[in-house]
Every structure is written in structure tokens, then in C-alpha cells.
Amino acid sequence: MVPASQQQSPDRPWTVWVIGVIVGLEAAALAYVGVRFVISLFSDHVIPTAGIIFGAVVMLGAAAWLGSAAWGTVRGLRWPRAAILVSQAFLVIVGISLTQVGARAIGVACVAAAIVALMALFNRGTVAWMGESTRHPSR
């Protein structure tokens, strides 16, 4: 039996980079919206201040969550799989809702990004990369 320190881990598949980029861009978009919420506190606004603060905290927290999930995917950790699956399911719902209220281009882009990320997430190479325990025996 070969010790875990001497086993060869598989090369990082290109689908991992696809997931990292898509989820990273989603995190950046949420961070942008969160910062815009904070900026709107200093101008005239119709939403109550508590609502703006709550929205900013939720958006910035979600951005941090997705950003760490994207980084964890590139590193080959196991836990981001569920986080990415849930976030992409929400993105499909948001995208379909956007197409129904007239923002068709943005809605279709959201759904397309989610579908590509989900297909890459369930790719054999990605599953092997994120499930390989020899790289990170403590995870």
C-alpha cells in the first residue's frame, strides 16, 4: 500500500476553473449590490434604514460565502459542492423570475450561468477532484 503522501493526485480539471470563475463572478456581483446598498444609506431612499442595512449584510454575507465556495472548489475541498448546488438552484429561480418581469437578457444569462456551473459541478473530473481525500486528509 502506498502512503497518502506519495500518492499522485489527479490534475485539476478545466471544469473546476469554470465553476471557480462563474461562482467568483456571482460573488463579485453580490458584493457590488451589497456595497450599493451601503452607499444608498447616504442618499435619499424609500426603503427603511434597517431594511437597507439588512439587505447589505445579506448580500455581503452571501458574497463572502460564494467567494469562499469558489476558492474551496479550486482547492479541491469537498464542502463547496453543496453550497454551489444550492446557490445555483437559487440563481435558476431568480433568473426565471427576471425573465417574467421583463428583464429577459439578465434572466437568461443567470439561468445559463447556473446551468453551466451545475453541469461542470457534476462532471466526473470535478467530482473526482473535489472528492479526492489524499490531497487533504483532514477535510
pLDDT in tens, 54-98: 999 999 999 999 999 999 999 999 999 999 999 999 999 999 999
Q: Which residues contact 11 (CB under 8 A, 6 or more apart)?
A: none
Q: With CA atoms as reference, report the closest residue to 88 among 73, 77, 102.
A: 73
For residues 64 and 94, is the Cβ–Cβ distance under 8 A? no
Does the global pTM surpass 0.95? no
* Rounded Cα–Cα distance for residues 101 and 78 (Å): 37
What ranges do the domains of the chain cover?
14-131
